[in-house]
Homo-oligomer: A and B are copies of this chain.
Amino acid sequence: MKATAGMKPAAASAPSALDELCINTIRTLSIDAVENAKSGHPGLPMGAATMAYALWTRYLKHNPSNPDWPDRDRFVLSAGHGSMLLYSLLHLTGYALPLQELRQFRQWDSKTPGHPESELTRGVEVTTGPLGQGFAMGVGMGIAAHHLAARFNGHGHTPVDHYVYVLCSDGDLMEGVASEAASLAGHLKLGRLVYLYDDNHVTIDGNTSLTFTEDVGERFTAYGWHVQHIDGEDLAAVGRAIEAAQAETGRPSLIVARTAIGYGSPNKAGTAAAHGEPLGADEVRLTKEALDWPLTPEFYVPDEVAAEFRKALPRGQRSEDDWHAKVEAFARTRPDDAALFRRMLAGELTQGWERVLPSFAASDGPMATRTASGKVLNAIAPVIEGLIGGSADLAGSTKTYLEAYPDFSAEEPLGRNIHFGVREFGMASVLNGIARHGGLLPFVATYFVFSDYLRPALRLAALQQSRGVFVFTHDSIGVGEDGPTHQPVEHLASLRAMPGLQLLRPADGNETVAAWKLAIEHPGPTALALTRQNVPVIDEPERIREGTPHGAYVLAEAASGAPDVILIATGSEVAVALGARKILQAEGIEARVVSMPGWGLFEAQPREYRDQVLPPSVRARVSVEAGASLGWRQWVGEDGDIVSLDHFGSSAPASVLFEKFGFTPEVVATRARAVVERTRRQEA
C-alpha cells in the first residue's frame, strides 16, 4: 500500500527547538490539568508526548474541523488513563475543545472526563480506560477498514484508505483481551494497524519487574505481528518506526517504544509515583524548570506551538477535500457502489428492508428461537449490506452463519462471516471497534452463559452506545446435558441491571423476528437471549408483531376479558405459561398470559399502556422465567408468585431439567391457583 493520500510525511529528523517546545507543551498541559483537577495520570502523557507529537503532526490523517470524516485515520488511546495526552492533542490541533475544557479536566459537565468518552467528546474515537479494550477495539476498526476497502476500493479508486493507530500500555498488554485480539489480528494479517506500545516499565504498583517480565516483542512475533523496538523519546526513531509500520502491509505492527513515565520530572520520572496522581506543586515547579518551561501561566501554549499544531487544520481540510474528490471520481465510474458506500457510511438502512423479514406459522412446527434468528439473519443480510459478524467458534450452534457470503479472512476480506475463535471478550471488543469505526452493522454470537466472558465489552458498548447485536443462544437450563457450567441462571437479571443495553428474550419464531427488527433499528447495543431447544410457534403473529416493540403485551387474553390471574413469562417459558393457562381455564380460572421479552422497553411505555397490560386491580400474578427471581417482584407485586431458578442447574436432558425444576404447565398452574386463592381470601 502506498503512503496515505493527502499526507506528505516529513522525513524523520532530529528534533528542532520547535519540536521540543511542542512536545513539552503536551507534557505541561497534562501536568497542569492533573494538578488543577487534583486527580489524574500525568505520567503517561509526559512519557508518550514525543510519540504522540510525531504521530499527530506528521502521520495521522485527520481533520480537526470534521472529526467524523469517514476516511480519517483512527487514533485509539487504549491507555485511557492518559486522557490528558489526547485532550492536549485535540485542543492543540484545533478540535472543538477549548483550553477552558482542559482547565475543567475531570469536573462535572466538562468535555474532559477522567477517561476518554467517545459519546461525550468529539474527536475521541472510542471510550477507553478499562484496560485492554482499546487495543482490541483497534483490531475491530482494522477489520472494518479492511472489509470496506475490499468492498469499495479497486479499479483505480481508493475511497477507503486509512490506518488505525493505537497507543497502548503495559497494563493493556497484560490483559487477556489484548492477547485475544492480537492473536486474531495476526491471523487476519491486518496490515493497516500501527500500535505504539508505551513500554515505560511502570505500573500502579511499581516496576513491571514485579509482574510482567515476558518478552512482549517475541510474543507478538509469535502472533504474526511485525515488531520493532525503539527509543520512544527519540523523535526521529519514532518517525522511522511509524513509516516502517505503514510500509508493512501484510501484518499488523507493534512498535515497542521504551519511554520514561513522567519524563521530565526530576524526582518521579521512571517511577510509579508519576503514574496516577498529581505531581504536587513542588515537583511541578521542578519539572517545568527541568523542561526549561515558564512556571506561569499555567496551561501555557506558546504562540509558535499553537501555530505549528494548528497546521493540522488546513492540512486536514485538504486531506478531506482530496477524499471528497476521490469519492466523486469513484461515483462517476461506479455510481451504484458509491451510493451504497455513502448510505453505509451514513448508517442508513435500505428502504423497506423489513419486508424481507420471515414470518412463521404454527404449522411450521416447534423451532428454537436460535433457529428463527438464523433465518432472520440470512434473510436480512442481502438488504442490510453492512451486516457483518460471527461467533466465538459457535457458528453452527448459534445459527449465525451467513450462508450466502464467504468467510472474512486475510485472503478474502470481502467475507462477511468473521470467525473469532474461542475469544469471546476479544470478539465483543471487535464489535465495539467495528461499530465505532462506522460503515458496518456488526453482530457477534456465543452461548448466553459466556456473556460473562465478554461482559466488560458489553458494558463499553452500552456506555458508548455501539450499534450492534449480541446474539446469545442456549439461554437457560434448556442447554441440557452440558450442565451448570453452560447453563445461564443469573444472566438475564444481571444484564437487566446494565444501563444502556436493550435486552430481548423472545418467546418464539415470530417474536424473534420482531426482536431482530428492534435490534436493527436500535441506535445502540442489543442483546438477544435465544433458546437452544425447540419452542412452539405461537399462533398469534399479529399480536406478537404489534406487541413486541412495547416490551410486554397481552399474548393470550382471559376468555372473559377479565382475568383472575396474570401469567407473565419470557422466552421459552411463555409456552409453559400458555400451557398453564389452558389447565386453569379447564378449572374455571381465567388467566391472561403476558409475554414480556423486553423489560426496558416496557418500563419506557406510558403508565396507561402498562396498566392495560398489568391492571393494578389484578393482584394475582405469577411470573415464569427459568432464571434468577431478582427483579420480578416489580411485576408480580406483593401478592404474586415468582416461578424462578435461584440455584445453579444440572447436567441432564433439557426436558428433565424443566420438569425437575418446576417449569411445567402443571406446576405453574398449581402456583397460580394458590395465588388466586390467596388473593381472593385477602379481598374477601
Tell me the complex Cα distance, A179–B500, Å.
Answer: 31
Tell me the complex Cα distance, A450–B130, Å.
Answer: 8
Q: Mark A152-172, 1 if CB is under 8 A from B, else 0.
A: 000000000000000000111
Decide yes or no: A222 and B224 within 8 Å by CB, A171-B422, A422-B131, A485-B129 being known contacts: no
Decide yes or no: A130 and B485 within 8 Å by CB, A114-B651, A419-B205 being known contacts: yes
Contact of A115 among B131, B419, B482, B633 (CB under 8 A): B482
Contact of A499 among B217, B450, B633, B648 (CB under 8 A): B648
Tell me the complex Cα distance, A501–B680, Å.
Answer: 37
Q: Could you tell me if A176 and B110 are in contact, using CB atoms closer than 8 angstroms?
A: no
Is A393 positioned at the interface, with any CB of B under 8 Å from its CB? yes
Is A214 positioned at the interface, with any CB of B under 8 Å from its CB? yes
Closest to A634 in B: B633
Q: Could you tell me if B204 and A423 are in contact, using CB atoms closer than 8 angstroms?
A: no
Q: Could you tell me if B660 and A108 are in contact, using CB atoms closer than 8 angstroms?
A: yes
Closest to A107 in B: B652
Which residues A640-664 have CB closer than 8 A to chain B? 646-648, 650-653, 656-657, 660
* A402 → B minimal CB distance (Å): 14
**Residues of chain B contacted by A486 (CB below 8 angstroms):** 114-115, 129-130
Is A213 positioned at the interface, with any CB of B under 8 Å from its CB? yes
Decide yes or no: A171 and B483 within 8 Å by CB, A205-B419, A499-B647 being known contacts: no
**Identical copies in the complex:** 2
Tell me the complex Cα distance, A656–B407, Å.
Answer: 50
Q: Mark A51-93, 1 if CB is under 8 A from B, else 0.
A: 0000000000000000000000000000010000000000000
Which residues A380-425 have CB closer than 8 A to chain B? 391, 393-397, 407, 419-423, 425
Is A216 positioned at the interface, with any CB of B under 8 Å from its CB? yes
Contact of A481 among B39, B176, B450, B452 (CB under 8 A): B39
**Residues of chain B contacted by A425 (CB below 8 angstroms):** 176
Tell me the complex Cα distance, A421–B205, Å.
Answer: 8
Decide yes or no: A176 and B175 within 8 Å by CB, A187-B213, A494-B493 being known contacts: yes
Instruction: Count A-side interface residues using an 8 Å CB cutoff.
Output: 109
Q: Could you tell me if B452 and A453 are in contact, using CB atoms closer than 8 angstroms?
A: no
**Residues of chain B contacted by A483 (CB below 8 angstroms):** 106, 113-115, 117, 129
* A660 → B minimal CB distance (Å): 7
Q: Could you tell me if A496 and B630 are in contact, using CB atoms closer than 8 angstroms?
A: yes
**Residues of chain B contacted by A419 (CB below 8 angstroms):** 205, 210-211
Q: Could you tell me if B651 and A110 are in contact, using CB atoms closer than 8 angstroms?
A: yes
Q: Could you tell me if A80 and B485 are in contact, using CB atoms closer than 8 angstroms?
A: yes
Binding site for B on A (CB under 8 A): 37, 39-40, 80, 106-110, 113-115, 117, 127-132, 170-172, 174-180, 183-184, 186-187, 203-205, 210-219, 221-224, 391, 393-397, 407, 419-423, 425-426, 449-450, 452-453, 455-456, 459-460, 462-463, 480-486, 489-491, 493-500, 628, 630-631, 633-634, 637-638, 646-648, 650-653, 656-657, 660
For the complex with contacts A130-B449, A490-B497, A631-B631, 13 further pairs of A-B residues with Cβ separation under 8 Å are: A80-B485, A106-B652, A106-B653, A113-B483, A176-B176, A176-B178, A204-B393, A204-B394, A204-B396, A211-B419, A455-B455, A494-B494, A494-B498
What are 29 contact pairs spanning A and B, CB under 8 A?
A: A39-B480, A80-B485, A114-B651, A117-B484, A117-B485, A117-B651, A131-B422, A132-B422, A170-B422, A174-B393, A175-B176, A176-B177, A179-B179, A205-B395, A211-B419, A212-B421, A213-B224, A215-B222, A218-B218, A219-B223, A453-B456, A463-B648, A490-B499, A493-B494, A493-B631, A499-B647, A630-B630, A631-B631, A637-B638
Instruction: Name the 9 nearest CB pairs between A and B, nearest first.
Output: A176-B176, A113-B651, A211-B421, A494-B494, A179-B179, A218-B222, A129-B485, A493-B497, A490-B497
